[in-house]
Amino acid sequence: MKRLGISVEGATEREFVHQVLRPHLEKYQISVTAIDIEGNVSLDKIRRALPPLLGAFDFVSTFYDFYGFKARHGCNVEELEAEIGKLFSNSRLISYVQQYEFEALIFAVPESAVEWLEGRTQQREEMQNAVQKAGSPEKVNDRFETSPSHRLKKLFPRYDKKLHGSEIIDLAGLKAVRSKCSRFDNWVSKLESLGSKQ
């Protein structure tokens, strides 16, 4: 069993890793632990947070949101991932930054969001329209008023990031999310490749 540590931005990502990603990767003989760096993600904070993980796990990955990442210095999401990699130059590190937020994954499965949050057809249609306008769930954008989490909170006032995000994705199934989110799918595929399916 390979040991994988995933450095996550906060409680939302931690719950997702433990509830959804860990059971999936166990099928590939990979044991997963999420380590929460409690927000305010920056390259400086990552530089301090990852060395202990690289010493404790066979492999390490990251799962941070692009939205809210401090001091991006004009980098896009791919450039930011590359900058994380350059901090360590370690082949056991798989850097990943979610564009734009964890909640982009929920926009991939609006039917499940509506079902879990007891919403209505209008809310599903608004989610679908946002995705259509952006081009994909992962491109639902980065401004304060229109980021995925703010859109969800406006559509579903009772939406709670920590409580509901993982539940919605679990209800929809990882496969459904991956089919609509190519960057996320590519990351999960890299993690799967660390092990071997039984």
Taking only the tens place, the pLDDT of each residue in 141-163 is: 867 778 899 999 999 999 998 88
Report whether 35 contacts 7 (CB < 8 A): yes
Return the percentage of the chain with pLDDT > 70, whole number: 98
Same domain, 87 and 41: yes
| Mean pLDDT over the full length of the chain | 94
Same domain, 94 and 113: no
Q: Which residues contact 190 (CB under 8 A, 6 or more apart)?
A: 61, 94
pLDDT at 7 over 80: yes
- Which parts of the chain are beta strand (E)? 2-8, 30-36, 59-65, 93-94, 97-98
Return the percentage of the chain with pLDDT > 90, whole number: 85
What's the CATH number where 46 sits?
A: 3.40.50.10330
Total domains present in the chain? 2
Indicate whether 152 belongs to any domain: yes
Same domain, 89 and 109: no
Write down the pLDDT at residue 89.
84
Instruction: Name beta bridge partners: 94.
Output: 61
Same domain, 86 and 152: no
Strands 93-94 and 97-98: unpaired
Same domain, 74 and 152: no
Write down the pLDDT at residue 196.
82
Write down the pLDDT at residue 169.
96
**56-114 pLDDT, tens per residue?**
999 999 999 998 899 888 899 999 999 999 999 899 999 999 999 999 999 999 999 99
Query: At CA 160, angle to CA 63 and CA 180, rounded to 5?
Result: 50
Same domain, 66 and 37: yes
Q: Report the pLDDT averaged over residues 7-20.
A: 95
Same domain, 90 and 27: yes
**Token pair of 181, please?**
């989110």
Write down the pLDDT at residue 198.
58
**Token pair of 27, please?**
């099928």
Indicate whether 171 belongs to any domain: no
Q: What does the alpha-carbon distance between residue 162 and residue 12 come to, in Å, rounded to a whole number? A: 4
Same domain, 132 and 46: no
Same domain, 153 and 83: no
Number of residues that this document lists for the chain: 198
Neighbour-count burial of 197, counting CB atoms closer than 10 A to its CB (0-12 exposed, 13-18 middle, 19+ buried) = exposed
| Residue 53 or 119, more confident | 53
Indicate whether 175 belongs to any domain: no
Write down the pLDDT at residue 142.
62
Q: Report the pLDDT averaged over residues 6-11.
A: 96
Residue 42 structural domain: 2-101+180-192
Q: What does the alpha-carbon distance between residue 131 and residue 109 come to, in Å, rounded to a whole number? A: 10
Give the Å distances, CA to CA, from 52 to 55, 56, 122: 5, 6, 47
Same domain, 109 and 97: no
